[in-house]
Amino acid sequence: MDSQIKKIHQQLVSKQITCTALVQEKLDLLKQNTYNTVNSLLDTLALDLASKVDAKIANGETIGLLEGIPFGIKDVYMLQGTYTTASSDFLKNYKSPYTATAIQKLLDAGAIPLVKENCDSFGHGSSSENTIFGAVKNAVDPTLVAGGSSGGSAVNVAKEYTVFSIGGDTGGSIRQPAGYNHIYGLKPTYGRISRYGLMAYASSTDCVGPLAKSIEDIRIVLNVMSGKDPKDQTSVASMEINEDAIATSAVKTVGYFKNFIESDAIDAQIKADFLATIEKLKAKGIAVKELDFFKSDILVSTYYTLAMAETASNLSRLDGTNYGNRIEGENLIDTYAVTRSENFSEETKRRIVGGNQVLSQGFSDEIYLKGLALRDQISENFSKDFKEVDVILSPVTPSTPPKIGDSLKDPLAMYLSDAYTVGFSLGQLPTLTVPQGTSTGLQITAAKNNDELVLKFANFLKDTI
């Protein structure tokens, strides 16, 4: 699909549609939708901004490419004056006192926020069922999960309730739901987009990223949000990616991890479809190289060891004193205990308990520091791989989306659904889900800070398979 942003921009400029009518149409669709994608609508703000865009067009003023383009925001981003709940009981009445840098850049470019989108509470989950707003339903088959944790964002894009949405990816939280709902989803290089104003889950792997129905829309939104931010010391400067630069692919060698494909856990059809894609690449003259990598269970255990430790630390501030829904106990300590026990979901409590165990005296050397050492080894492994190949291609998930309810019965199975995404998060590498190749898509991964190459190869794949 071609750029929806450019198409709508032309319709606005040529006065085929008004911005107000466009925004009202999308708001109506969001209100009526039965996929549980909406935590709160931003209708007053959206219609006010739309009327200003219409006034500029009526006065003959030039508008920017993103001006008047409706988008959605995963409900873990601050937008001043709006509810930011993280889909949790804890923050169900919390209003943002400021705006996240990435969202502010989109507002400055004229994009119009429509909705705070449903997600796994605090980003804890791989199915978007761990939420107080009801399980998000898959856009293709509503009996299946939407994927997590950015499930609401993925479904809103897939159903065209929003033109694009902003998700957050920690261990696969953009890429997996993008694959489940047949759209594009990008986890950029860690630090390319400021995390300021994104509720922290695991700070060393959290990334801000777009979901959209075309590569070009991903490129446009990525460029607007990228850049060094003095409010986030982990953010980095980056070059703008031009449309012409990604029109042709310079990729000559593609690698894939043979242990992903030879795993007993992979669905037979996903394996067959992936290998068929490899054969198509070979037919196009691209060299393909099998790579050795850490076993999936090592990747998953390393990721969850570190992610749980970081989430226990990050969420320790939520005790009902400064933030969130306070429940009074018999004394202060009891108040903390009751507030956290009653307000956090079972999945969030599972991760906090696991994280505190990892960080506790007597275990941190044996578990946490070992996890950090493994993460270093994983990064070194990637550095060696990218001396031999230009990009790495992999399935997004080893299996197809489960039925709604099944993941809640088996948390371990849910963690393993991230087996093919978490390794690239630990490496802090740019990775894009494309809705091709297998029933849950393919991932394209390049070396750190080489986001442009990922988009180049995505364009090549679009025309090749």
- pLDDT tens for residues 33-55? 999 999 999 999 999 999 999 99
pLDDT at residue 175 tops 90: yes
Mean pLDDT over all residues of the chain? 96
Q: What is the mean pLDDT of residues 52-63?
A: 98
Q: 92 an active-site residue?
A: no
Q: Strands 38-41, 442-445: parallel, antiparallel or unpaired by DSSP?
A: unpaired
Residue 1 is predicted with a pLDDT of 63
Q: What is the mean pLDDT of residues 297-305?
A: 92
Task: Decide: 344 and 90 in contact? Cβ < 8 Å.
Answer: yes
Order the strands of the 391-395 sheet from edge to edge: 38-41, 112-117, 70-74, 164-169, 207-212, 184-187, 431-434, 442-445, 391-395, 253-257, 287-291
| Measured distance between the N- and C-terminal CA atoms of the chain, rounded to whole angstroms | 14
User: Which of the four pLDDT bands, split at 50, 70 and 90, describes residue 432?
Assistant: very high
pLDDT at residue 353 tops 70: yes
**433 bridge partner residues:** 185, 443
pLDDT at residue 251 tops 70: yes
pLDDT at residue 418 tops 70: yes
pLDDT at residue 216 tops 90: yes
Q: What is the mean pLDDT of residues 383-411?
A: 93
Q: 387 an active-site residue?
A: no
CA angle (217 as vertex; 33, 458 as ends), nearest 5: 110
pLDDT at residue 366 tops 90: no
Residue 336 is predicted with a pLDDT of 95
- pLDDT by residue (tens digit) across 103-159? 999 999 999 999 999 999 999 999 999 999 999 999 999 999 999 999 999 999 999
Q: 74 an active-site residue?
A: yes
Residue 242 is predicted with a pLDDT of 97
pLDDT at residue 434 tops 90: yes
Catalytic residue among 87, 150, 153, 173: 173
In this prediction the pTM is: 0.96
Catalytic residue among 74, 137, 187, 456: 74
Catalytic residue among 3, 121, 128, 149: 149
